[in-house]
Amino acid sequence: MLLNICKAKNCYFFLAATDWPLIWDFIIMITKDLNLAIEQLQKEELIAMPTETVYGLAGNIYSEKAIRKIFALKERPLFNPLIVHTYAVSQLEHFVRHIPAKAKLLAAAFWPGSLTLVLPKKSTIPDLVTAGKDTVAVRIPNHPVALALLEKLDFPLAAPSANPFGCISPTSPQHVADYFQDQLALVLDGGACKNGIESTIIGFENEEPVLYRLGSIPLEALIEVVGPIIIKNKKEIAPNAPGMLARHYAPNTSTYLVDNIESFIKDFPDQRIGLLQFQKAFTASNVVISKVLSPTGDFKEAAAKLYASLHELDRLSLDMIVAERLPDRDLGKSINDRLTRATKKK
Ligand code: TXA
Ligand code: MG
């Protein structure tokens, strides 16, 4: 089949020729007008929606046209299910058959918030959204604009991160516009995302919580509420969390994750290097720019700045980006997870 290639800020993706008329019709608008967003969604079109984690590419879960557009626009494989976003726990009964006791505890403690729960789905949730699985991932985002939007709609929104598949997630309206210039009508402007990395995903097996994805809520905080959480090895997790690919969240520039920046970059004296460091900047003749995530060593600040810093470094046509591994606890663990995936070779 004839394929077209398009370039969205250094991120290449492929579109089947037949998809072009569907999604190549727009000049993107960044707006705070909720009504314009609602209008688009009611027409079964997509918008980018702000959340406290990352911007989402949102569409009506009950519209096959909208959901197919999400997969086409992202170039996301159909086997990778989407998260359903709603505004209140009371809505859950429309989507799920059963809520384990520990899921209720987590929902009460962290919703609205950066936690996604994977629960047994009702048959009313379209199979396209859940990639044919008998579970559905649900989240109530903690962002005033997202909550206002969801409350005004009479359908929930499916929303993966608003980036082409495998690329760095967007944490500002401009990041989304850079990716989807003329393929998306509207970005609903909710400012920069406060948390900056995706939600933590928890599933349940025999009523017990299982970690599917590290994220914005540290494991330690979840364990305080529900006790032990099952953590499987990667091979065991894969069938349940099909989106957890080794390479993801990745800049176009070759990226490395190291424990000791100084000794690593000594071997590349002739390269133009961009550094991503946790607390302290380091300079050397081959370092073009050094970005510090949090001078005070605050994990939350570091997470909030992570993707914006990667986007910025990726725009500079560097030879390589070298990131420093954070302490492996709390949100440092989630940030290390994203950096590990960002640095995996294609
Ligand atoms: O913070 C977030 O979670 C953002 C914002 C926009 O809400 N969304 C997000 O969506 O990160 P996405 O599509 O980029 O990642 C969702 C992950 C994927 O890895 C997918 O495989 C997994 O959730 N997932 C969705 N439904 C699932 C299910 N039924 N069972 C297991 N994993 C599921
Ligand atoms: Mg994503």
pLDDT over 70 (residue 346): no
Residue 326: helix, strand or coil by DSSP? coil
Looking at ligand 1, which atom is closest to the CA of residue 161?
A: 14
Q: Are 298 and 196 spatial neighbours (Cβ–Cβ below 8 Å)?
A: no
Looking at ligand 1, which atom is closest to the CA of residue 56?
A: 6
Among the residue ranges 81-90, 148-157, 240-249, 306-315, the one predicted with the least confidence is 240-249
Q: In angstroms, how far apart are the furthest CA atoms of the chain? A: 60
Looking at ligand 1, which atom is closest to the CA of residue 121?
A: 29
Average pLDDT over residues 48-63: 98
How far apart (Å, rounded) are the C-alpha atoms in residues 290 and 292?
7
More confident residue, 305 or 250: 305
Domain boundary among 198, 231, 264: 231
Residues 285 and 221 placed together within one structural domain of the fold = no
Closest-CA residue to 244 (of 259, 234, 254, 252): 234
pLDDT at 176: 98
Q: For residue 240, is it within any domain?
A: no
Amino acid identity at 111: W
pLDDT over 60 (residue 6): no
Q: Are 309 and 277 spatial neighbours (Cβ–Cβ below 8 Å)?
A: no
Residues 44 and 134 placed together within one structural domain of the fold = yes
Q: Work out the burial of residue 201: count CB atoms within 10 Å of its CB; fewer than 13 is exposed, 13-18 middle, 19 or more buried.
A: buried
> CATH number for the domain including 332?
3.40.50.11030
Q: Which residues line ligand 1 (CB under 6 A)?
A: 51, 53-54, 56, 80-83, 116, 118, 130, 133, 135-137, 139, 141, 159-161, 198-199, 201, 212-213, 240-244
Average pLDDT over residues 79-106: 97
Average pLDDT over residues 18-22: 46
Interval 179-195: pLDDT, tens: 999 899 999 999 999 99
The range of the structural domain enclosing residue 113 comes to 2-231
How far apart (Å, rounded) are the C-alpha atoms in residues 176 and 9?
10
Distance 75 CA to ligand 2 centre (A): 12
Residues 204 and 298 placed together within one structural domain of the fold = no
How far apart (Å, rounded) are the C-alpha atoms in residues 25 and 157?
22
Q: For residue 278, is it within any domain?
A: yes
pLDDT at 238: 53
> CATH number for the domain including 46?
3.90.870.10
Q: For residue 17, is it within any domain?
A: yes
pLDDT at 4: 29
Q: Look up the pTM and report it.
A: 0.92
Residues 179 and 69 placed together within one structural domain of the fold = yes
pLDDT at 68: 98
pLDDT at 236: 54
Interval 234-259: pLDDT, tens: 655 555 565 566 667 789 999 999 99
Closest-CA residue to 179 (of 163, 165, 192): 163
Distance 213 CA to ligand 1 centre (A): 9
Average pLDDT, rounded, for the chain: 91
Number of domains within the chain: 2
Q: For residue 244, is it within any domain?
A: no
Q: Are 179 and 162 spatial neighbours (Cβ–Cβ below 8 Å)?
A: yes
Q: For residue 97, is it within any domain?
A: yes
Q: How confident is the model at residue 26 (pLDDT cuts 50, 70, 90)?
A: confident
